[in-house]
Amino acid sequence: MSGTCFMCNQTSTIIIGPRKTGSTSFYSLLNPAFDNTSGLKESYFWNSQYFKYLSLDKKFVYNQAFSSEPSYFSDLRAYTSLSQSTLDLKIIVVLRDPYKRFISHYRHGLSKGYYNSSVNPALAIERYPCLWYDSLYSVFLPLWMSRFDTIVIDFDDLISDLENVLFRLSSFLSKDLSGLPKILPSDNITPNSRGYLLTKSAVIFHRLLSPLFGETKVFKSLTSFSKSLVYSNSSSFGCDFELPDSLACALSEEKAFMRSILSSRIADSS
């Protein structure tokens, strides 16, 4: 049996993560450029609801023009179901240093109570496998790239060179993104932290002064300075965690893979 999908021939863009790579803030930045009638940021549709429709042989509607689904990256259910869909699909992947991504994800699990601080990373991975899977770029990224129209973004560029990222995305999505802010919103940074306050200040700074100065050299320099403050002070971006040698070695290999992918993409676009 199979469910019948209506409105599945439309163009849809999905940020598939992985988790803790700025996908929430990136979604908030880009969403105004889309006719996102569902209004959902994260639906879990293609790795959860879709299979319920299949098992019940029910009709369903999928009408999300844009979503952020960081759980999809390392979930083969999402990859399989989207491969079987008739969507005109564009995939956005953001790659962050896998070591820093892992630490951020681990700390997120602590804050959510998935495990406590006495649980070492290896045991945390057993309880929460995506903590590790989401940093296995060499395993999952080739699957998405071989099957779908995919653009790979460097997390560091989201922070330090967002203007160029938006320029690349404009071409990829065939959308005019020139009117979007040139700094990420602070949706996923801990409230009341120094990083949160700096990010909020930088966003307000950009919105107030952009109409006055336009994209002048002085304004770009000031904006760049405000971004550097956010980057250096936000706890979401830092990392002071020690991993077992075996895990650290594996993540080092993933970082080398990430760099090779990003380098090849830059070469292709030049």
User: Can you spell out the DSSP letters for 61-84?
Assistant: E---SEEE-TTSTT-HHHHHHHHH
Q: Show the domains of the chain with their CATH numbers.
A: 4-188+236-254 (3.40.50.300)
Residue-wise pLDDT tens digits, 158-212: 988 999 999 999 999 999 999 998 888 765 554 444 444 444 455 555 555 555 5
Q: What is the reported pTM?
A: 0.79
Q: Is the dihedral of CA 64, 67, 69, 72 positive or negative?
A: positive
Confidence at 142, pLDDT banded by 50, 70, 90: very high
> Looking at residue 130, what is its pLDDT?
94
* Burial bucket for residue 87 (CB in 10 Å: 0-12, 13-18, 19+): buried
Residue-wise pLDDT tens digits, 80-129: 999 988 889 999 999 999 999 998 899 888 888 888 877 788 888 888 99
Helix (H) or strand (E) holding 244: none
> Looking at residue 234, what is its pLDDT?
39
Helix (H) or strand (E) holding 93: strand 88-95
Identify whether the C-beta of residue 170 lies closer than 8 Å to the C-beta of residue 162: no
Residue 66's DSSP bridge partners are 13
Residue-wise pLDDT tens digits, 153-166: 999 999 889 999 99
With CA atoms as reference, report the closest residue to 133 among 251, 258, 256, 253: 251
The Cα 198–Cα 184 span in angstroms is 12
Tell me the two tokens of residue 27: 């979604």
The Cα 18–Cα 208 span in angstroms is 32
> Looking at residue 84, what is its pLDDT?
86
Return the SS3 of 59.
strand
